[in-house]
């Protein structure tokens, strides 16, 4: 019998005679030959661990843990022991969680209680400013509160999946979570403390987003939130930054009860390096997110079990009764709308990108206007998609991430957002296949407001750091469902301020007897829900900066042409992109212009790649009378909306605000035709 080559090594051979294997195959005959060699030996040195716990401890390599400095050292990098540094960090967090009526801070310890073995000693800090014996002591003073500080995304994944029902890993590696009963912001439950500092500085009254509360009520809610957080076995603490401009960045601390919230803010705020955390020190602003616990509805000013409270004097925010993570993001944006103008820095609800030659463009627009789509351009660098500051240094992104809508998301339409939904990204309230974990972005079973939060570096053409020179173009986007605004208009400085304050777009209101009518929507400064001061304050600052740095204002209609919604056609995205390209290149500045009726808008007569006949709405409407009537109707809505700003009494006005208001007083003297003569320089 002939043996195969393997038999020469004394391992096995196939035989063609004798017993046969199953199905007539030759049976394998093994050969056991004495040998001193062991082939393919993959054994190694035996583990030194004596127990499973010791074995698991070997799995994790020592890491430089994020820490904060100890007070009294000579510089942030002074040589101190790790134990002292940890104590200083925990003391700072204990002070943040201090009660104002009983013991001033909990006993805090670092690490997850689930990973502590029985005999393990934990470093802790007991932080008291007052003699606790003089006050009532709660049961929470008898326990440790475990602090999970600046955890990595991988650690937060583990926490969420272990302890938070409704947390799953999707097919692309993102963390899918649920925000509970609230799947959007609760603007009617947002309150701002009205005190001596804010009474004359903030925008109060009709049309204002700020609903007042007194400091006592805020402290009641703060105590409720702190007591809840202290009652938990563990809380998550993030120390991070806002504003990529290092000269004007803000230090924020977020204390939350959910890993989902911690990961969300890890993505949305600017992530400090370990070296920057050594110098972090005391935060400039603190959020207490006790959203799983309701407010007391019998407390003064409360209208539901939800309350989102800002105290600008104390630099604190309290969240009760809502787990929607967007409350933290937009709450901090409101804070920046207060802090930055006090430094003569303009805060803006806008997208921002930069060309390869350094030309920066700002994009303003309400939902559905195409702000995200048009500011995302593969030929330009993305500075940010939502929140920015314009200082003497130029423009800078406030955030460290993006919060994108996911409804009907597709790879073809939004490839950058699609590809950014991967490990580290939080996707809220989405529906996915229970087996494959593939997300169905068209599904609205939980909510239509599905969202994805991811670090901005997940966008391939993001500019890191997210800063740029002074803007060259300011683009105001409106989806005009009335169909009377031109596809693009060049604005004077005063017109830019006027349309900036108006913040116009139009939505389809719904169906009544089979007829759909557009509904005008106005949101001051294209973000009325988040601004803190009167809109003229921001408009005046915008005017000054545009004038100083030579920026040009543009009004771009991404809505309808040749008729209103239902009879006309939506302006093609390809045409709008050609318009935006002409703005970026500067060719539109040199075009020939004509002026429209009523609004007094300058419209170009020709743009490469765009049919000339659609540039002037009068050319596209077959019914000229209907066009004129609709134009006057929209102008009247603008006029009515603007009256609230003219009649508002401002406590403290800047010189630029007074100049602006004097310029628009002629608006009150206008008759029936709502022209924009008052907006001309």
Q: Which residues are catalytic?
A: 185, 330, 349, 367, 371-372, 386, 451
Going by C-alpha positions, the residue among 555, 640, 637, 563 that lies closest to residue 601 is 555
Task: Please give the full DSSP string across 85-154, using - where no structure is assigned.
Answer: HHHHHHHHHHHHT--SSS-SS-EEEES-GGG--TT----EEE--SS-GGGS---GGGGSEEEEEES--HH
Sheet holding 401-405, edge to edge: 168-169, 175-177, 426-428, 451-455, 401-405
Residues 6+ apart with CB under 8 A from 414: 372, 373, 376, 404
Secondary structure, 3-state, 376-437: CCCCCEEEECCEEEEECCEEEECCCEEEEECCCCCCCCCHHHHHHCCCCCEEECCEECCCCC
Token pair belonging to 532:
């803190």
Q: Around Cβ 152, how many Cβ atoms within 10 Å?
A: 13
31 backbone dihedrals φ, ψ, rounded to 5°:
-125, 120
Contacts of 375 (CB under 8 A, 6+ apart): 351, 352, 353, 361, 363, 382, 385
Task: Give the span between the Cα atoms of 319 and 6, in whole angstroms.
Answer: 72
Residue 298 CA, chain-centre distance (Å), reads: 32
Distance CA 114, CA 148 (A): 12
Q: How far apart are CA 458 and CA 416, in angstroms?
A: 8
* CA 642 centroid distance within chain: 29
- Cα–Cα distances (Å) from 185 to 126, 210, 260, 330, 636, in that order, read 36, 14, 17, 9, 31
């Amino acid at each position: 019998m002939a043996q195969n080559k393997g038999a020469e090594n004394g391992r096995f051979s196939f035989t063609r005679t004798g017993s046969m294997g199953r199905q007539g195959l030759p049976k394998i005959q093994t050969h056991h030959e004495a040998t001193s060699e062991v082939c393919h030996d993959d054994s190694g040195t035996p583990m030194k661990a004596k127990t499973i716990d010791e074995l698991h401890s070997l799995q994790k390599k020592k890491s430089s843990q994020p820490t904060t400095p100890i007070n009294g050292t000579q510089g942030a990098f002074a040589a101190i022991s790790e134990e002292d540094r940890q104590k200083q960090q925990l003391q700072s967090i204990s002070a943040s969680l201090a009660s104002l009526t009983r013991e001033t801070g909990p006993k805090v310890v670092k690490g997850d209680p689930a990973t502590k073995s029985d005999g393990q000693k934990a470093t802790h800090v007991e932080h008291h400013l007052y003699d606790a014996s003089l006050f009532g002591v709660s049961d929470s003073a008898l326990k440790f509160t475990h602090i999970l500080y600046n955890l990595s995304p991988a650690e937060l994944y583990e926490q969420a999946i272990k302890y938070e029902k409704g947390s799953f890993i999707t097919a692309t590696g993102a963390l899918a979570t649920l925000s509970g009963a609230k799947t959007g912001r609760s603007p009617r439950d947002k309150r701002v403390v009205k005190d001596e500092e804010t009474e004359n500085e903030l925008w109060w009254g009709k049309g204002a987003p700020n609903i007042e509360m007194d400091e006592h009520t805020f402290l009641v809610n703060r105590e409720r939130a702190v007591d809840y957080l202290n009652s938990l076995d563990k809380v998550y603490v993030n120390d991070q930054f806002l504003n990529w401009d290092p000269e004007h960045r803000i230090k924020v601390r977020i204390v939350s009860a959910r890993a989902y919230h911690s990961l969300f803010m890890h993505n949305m705020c600017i992530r400090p390096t370990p070296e920057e955390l050594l110098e972090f020190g005391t935060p400039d602003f603190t959020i207490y997110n006790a959203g799983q616990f309701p407010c007391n509805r019998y407390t003064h000013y409360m209208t539901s079990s939800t309350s989102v409270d800002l105290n600008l004097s104390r630099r604190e925010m309290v969240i009760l009764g809502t787990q929607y993570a967007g409350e933290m993001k937009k709450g901090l944006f409101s804070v920046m709308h207060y802090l930055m103008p006090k430094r003569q820095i303009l805060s803006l609800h806008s997208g921002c990108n930069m060309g390869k030659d350094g030309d920066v463009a700002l994009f303003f627009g309400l939902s559905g206007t195409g702000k995200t789509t048009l500011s995302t351009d593969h030929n330009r660098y993305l500075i940010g998609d939502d929140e920015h500051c314009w200082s003497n240094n130029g423009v800078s992104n406030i955030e460290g991430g993006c919060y994108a809508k996911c409804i009907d998301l597709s790879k073809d339409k939004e490839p950058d957002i699609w590809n950014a939904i991967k490990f580290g990204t939080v996707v809220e309230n989405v529906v996915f296949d229970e087996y494959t974990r593939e997300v169905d972005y068209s599904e609205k079973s939980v909510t239509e407001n599905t969202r994805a939060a991811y670090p901005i570096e997940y966008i391939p053409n993001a500019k890191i750091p997210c800063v740029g020179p002074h803007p060259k173009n300011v683009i105001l986007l409106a989806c005009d469902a009335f169909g009377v605004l031109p596809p693009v208009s060049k604005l004077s400085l005063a017109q830019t301020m006027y349309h900036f304050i108006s913040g116009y777009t139009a939505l389809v209101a719904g169906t009544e007897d089979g007829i759909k009518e557009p509904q005008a929507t106005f949101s001051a400064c294209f973000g009325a829900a988040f601004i803190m001061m009167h809109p003229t304050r921001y408009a005046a600052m915008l005017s000054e900066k545009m004038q100083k740095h030579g920026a040009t204002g543009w009004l771009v209609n991404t809505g309808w042409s040749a008729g209103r919604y239902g009879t006309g056609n939506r302006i093609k995205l390809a045409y709008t992109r050609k318009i935006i390209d002409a703005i970026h290149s500067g060719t539109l500045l040199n075009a020939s212009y004509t002026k429209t009726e009523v609004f007094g808008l300058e419209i170009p007569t020709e743009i490469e790649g765009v049919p000339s006949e659609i540039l002037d709405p009068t050319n596209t409407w077959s019914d000229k009378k209907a066009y004129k009537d609709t134009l006057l109707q929209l102008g009247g809505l603008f006029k009515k909306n603007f009256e609230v700003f003219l009649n508002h009494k401002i406590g403290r006005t800047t010189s630029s605000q007074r100049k602006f208001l004097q310029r628009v007083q002629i608006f009150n003297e206008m008759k029936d035709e709502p022209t924009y003569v008052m907006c001309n320089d």
